[in-house]
């Protein structure tokens, strides 16, 4: 595995890959890798000639009071995990190299951001879209891999690729979970023992909502209430439980098409998110 920090060196190597017709799969991460990231890496490795991973804690997507400095980092560990997962090229740039001056242009996301996590994280997805535009231009991937645990991010990236006519296939990969259903996350390490025991109820709540939809419930408020009632039995504070069309992330009076049931819960030192995506049309055809 090649490990690169310099942008010029990255460009040279990417151009070499492209000159001999090698396909590139790209896995962008902020590091502190867990099984979810490694699943993306494995898939990228199997579906492309070259698998590229970035590790970059992007300051542009952290707002005031958020955990940029506290975000867990362990590059030595991550490097070994990335290589073992089949990554061919690991790119770990500095913040100065990615944002080396006052920007002339930045990407502003106009839709799909005023709900779910985006509602309380003003500017977050602008930072995500800006850094991904930089990475996509540098790495020139045929495919980019994202975990569906952060389904709002996937929806935003879908819009970015579509609106800017990027020749990139967006590959959304199902959430990787612990045996008890808890979605794997770098922030799980901040849960107390009691909170860790309660946290799987988040997924159980979403499953209950999905079951109601499969049983024929089409009133979004009824589904939301059923999920919220279960989450409310934890010691965490509910940030949101919401139900929208997907990937448009718009409200529906009556559920139809593909929808997302998503929730966020704040525990003492960790905010957990999770979701379930349900294709009602596909379900009704079965």
Question: Distance between CA 211 and CA 37 in Å, rounded?
Answer: 28
Q: Is 61 annotated as a binding residue?
A: yes
Q: What is the length of the chain?
A: 286
Q: Is 153 annotated as a binding residue?
A: yes
Q: Is 187 annotated as a binding residue?
A: yes
Instruction: Give me the architecture of the 186-274 domain, per CATH.
Output: 2-Layer Sandwich (3.30)
pLDDT at 133: 97
Q: Is 3 annotated as a binding residue?
A: no
Domain with CATH 3.40.50.620 in the chain: 2-173
pLDDT at 63: 76
DSSP label at residue 98 = H
Please say whether the beta carbons of 160 and 133 come within 8 A: yes
pLDDT in tens, the chain (286 residues): 999 999 999 999 999 999 999 999 999 999 989 888 999 999 999 999 999 999 999 988 887 767 777 787 899 999 999 999 999 999 999 999 999 878 888 899 999 999 998 988 888 999 999 999 999 999 999 999 999 999 999 999 999 999 999 999 999 999 999 999 999 887 888 999 999 999 999 999 999 999 999 999 999 999 999 999 999 999 999 999 999 999 999 999 999 999 999 999 999 999 999 999 999 988 776 6
Q: Of these residues, 3, 37, 124, 281, which one is catalytic?
A: 37
Residue 37 annotated among the catalytic residues of the structure = yes
pLDDT at 151: 96
2-173 classified as CATH 3.40.50.620: yes
Domain with CATH 3.30.1300.10 in the chain: 186-274
Picking from 115, 99, 134, 128, the residue whose alpha carbon sits closest to that of residue 30 is 128
- Neighbouring C-beta atoms of residue 261, cutoff 10 Å: 28
């Amino acid at each position: 595995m090649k490990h690169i920090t310099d942008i010029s060196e990255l460009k040279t190597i990417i151009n070499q890959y492209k000159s001999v017709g090698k396909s590139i799969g790209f896995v962008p991460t902020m590091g502190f890798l867990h099984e979810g990231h490694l699943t993306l890496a494995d898939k990228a490795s199997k579906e492309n000639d070259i698998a590229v991973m970035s590790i970059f804690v992007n300051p542009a997507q952290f707002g005031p009071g958020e955990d940029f400095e506290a975000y867990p980092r362990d590059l030595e560990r991550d490097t070994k995990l990335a290589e073992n997962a089949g990554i061919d090229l690991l790119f770990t740039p500095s913040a100065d190299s990615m944002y080396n001056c006052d920007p002339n242009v930045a990407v502003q996301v106009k839709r799909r951001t005023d709900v779910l996590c985006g509602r309380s994280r003003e500017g977050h997805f602008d930072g995500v879209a800006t850094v991904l535009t930089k990475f996509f231009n540098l790495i020139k991937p045929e495919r980019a891999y994202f975990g569906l645990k952060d389904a709002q991010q996937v929806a935003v990236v879908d819009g970015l690729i579509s609106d800017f006519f990027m020749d990139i296939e967006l590959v959304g990969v199902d959430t990787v979970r612990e045996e008890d259903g808890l979605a794997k996350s770098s922030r799980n390490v901040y849960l107390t023992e009691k909170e860790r025991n309660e946290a799987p109820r988040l997924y159980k709540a979403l499953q209950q909502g999905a079951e109601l939809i499969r049983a024929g419930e089409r009133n979004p408020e009824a589904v939301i209430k059923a999920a919220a009632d279960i989450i409310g039995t934890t010691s965490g504070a509910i940030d949101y439980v919401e139900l929208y069309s997907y990937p448009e992330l718009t409200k529906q009076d009556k559920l139809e098409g593909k929808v997302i049931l998503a929730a966020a819960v704040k525990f003492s030192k960790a905010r957990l998110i999770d979701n379930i995506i349900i294709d009602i049309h596909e379900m009704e055809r079965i």
